[in-house]
Amino acid sequence: MLAQLDELYAESLEKLKTAASTATLETWYKETLGRKGAVYLMTRQVGQLTPTERPIFGQQINKIKDELETAYQARLTAVKTTELDAQIAASAVDVTLPGRRPVRGGLHVITQTMREIYRIFGDMGFQVYRSPDVETDAYNFEMLNFPPHHPARDMQDSFYTTHPDVILRTHTSAGQIRAMRAYHPEPVRVILPGMCYRNEQITTRSSIQFTQVEGLAVGTNITFADLKGTLTEFARRLFGANRETRFRASYFPFTEPSAEMDVTCFLCEGEGCQVCKYTGWLEILGSGMVHPVVLRNGGYDPEQYTGFAFGLGPERITMLKYGINDIRLFWDNDLRFLQQF
Ligand code: DAH
């Protein structure tokens, strides 16, 4: 009987040594020292022993029980440590790895173009004047000499609001009246940048928003020569010192006379290419002398004051500069496009 006990002890110790996880240790414990484990089953055999054998057997069984218990605890601690080490190793932070750079934002390419435009006009004494995106029909059209049913409104298919006279501005020209009223009776020399909203089906293929930079100069003795000089200087600073400009007669309700300005194509230097459609010229902006009606609506007496105005599209300038062929890319918010600039 005692020999059996020794055998159980030896066997159990051996098994314990090979148990390599807390789960197998748990099973081992159940089978060995548990309530129905091997050691317990041995104690039940005491009845078969003689009275003299019993205390010796009892002592021996208690001894191996204690020893197994101690061995189990030691093994459990060791296995737990190994498991923890493995877990730490698996999910370790490798402090020697190079750091991950935070993603840096950048300026939208249109913002970059706008800032370049501000800088050039800033050098020529123009201040940036901000006016609202949400406008009234009066500022956007009527005071700019577009009467309610004027056909020129057809070119600016507008976004209306639930309020009968409130629209999203279709052009930055709406700010002209606001600027004049703010500066009167001082001379005005401002640029008005910002987003414009209109439904464009033909020229820009379903785009509904784009930016403009408007310019306005009002004062005494301002002539068409000032308009040409200022805008030609602008074109040369933006597109290169040997740019030539030409002015073609045009029509806008708020200017008289009106003109569109072209610059010699900076891609082919006027030779003729796909971008300038083999004309050698690129249309850059609309302009003109401020209409007397508009001057009066701004508070200036047209007998005493004159002025010029212009409006240009940063998207168009950016498209020409980088060879971008779809205006919708600018406001689609596709990072693959935006990150290139
Ligand atoms: N507002 C015009 C447009 O959106 C652009 C423009 C043309 C503005 C001539 C001007 C100007 O100030 O003089 O098409």
Question: How far is residue 114's CA from residue 183's CA, in Å, rounded to a whole number?
Answer: 23
Separation between Cα atoms, residue 141 and residue 252, nearest integer Å: 11
Query: Is the minimum distance from the CB of 211 to ligand 1 under 6 angstroms?
Result: no
> What does the pLDDT average to over 322-341?
91
If asked whether residues 147 and 186 sit together in one domain, one would say yes
Indicate whether 237 and 173 sit together in one domain: yes
Is 95 among the domain residues?
A: no
Angle at the Cα of 166 from the Cα atoms of 145 and 287, rounded to 5 degrees: 35
**256 and 306 share a domain?**
yes
Print the domain residue range for 61.
2-90
Query: Do both 115 and 249 map to the same domain?
Result: yes
**H or E segment to which residue 234 belongs:** helix 224-239
> Using a 6 Å cutoff on CB, does residue 310 contact ligand 1?
yes
Task: Evaluate: CB of 288 within 6 angstroms of ligand 1.
Answer: yes
pLDDT tens by residue, 148-193: 889 888 888 899 999 989 999 999 999 999 999 999 999 999 999 9
Same structural domain, 239 and 321: yes
Pairing of strands 255-264, 245-252: antiparallel
In a domain, 98, yes or no: no
Q: 328 alpha carbon to ligand 1 midpoint, in Å?
A: 21
The ligand 1 atom nearest the CA atom of 196:
4
The residue length of the chain stands at: 341
> Is 210's C-beta closer than 6 angstroms to any atom of ligand 1?
no
Same domain for 83 and 126, yes or no, is no
- The count of structural domains within the chain is 2
Q: How much is the pLDDT for 195?
A: 97
Which of 35-39, 132-136, 240-244 has the largest mean confidence?
A: 132-136
Instruction: Decide: helix, strand or coil at residue 68.
Output: helix
Residue 97 lies in a domain: no
**Residue 103 included in any domain:** no
Containing 102, the helix (H) or strand (E) segment is: none
Are residues 290 and 160 part of one domain?
A: yes
Q: How far is the CA of 106 from the centre of ligand 1 (A)?
A: 30
202 pLDDT tier (thresholds 50, 70, 90): low
Together in a domain, 174 and 262: yes
Which protein residue has the closest C-alpha to ligand 1 atom 13? 287
Q: Where are the alpha helices (DSSP H) in 1-127?
A: 2-18, 22-33, 38-43, 53-90, 109-123
CA angle 231, 125, 256 (to 5 degrees): 45
Q: Is the CB of 173 within 6 Å of ligand 1?
A: yes
pLDDT of residue 321: 86
Does one domain contain both 326 and 282?
yes
The percent of residues in the chain predicted with pLDDT above 70, rounded, is 99
Q: CA–CA separation, 102 vs 98, rounded Å?
A: 13
Q: Is residue 305 domain-shared with residue 176, that is, in the same domain?
A: yes
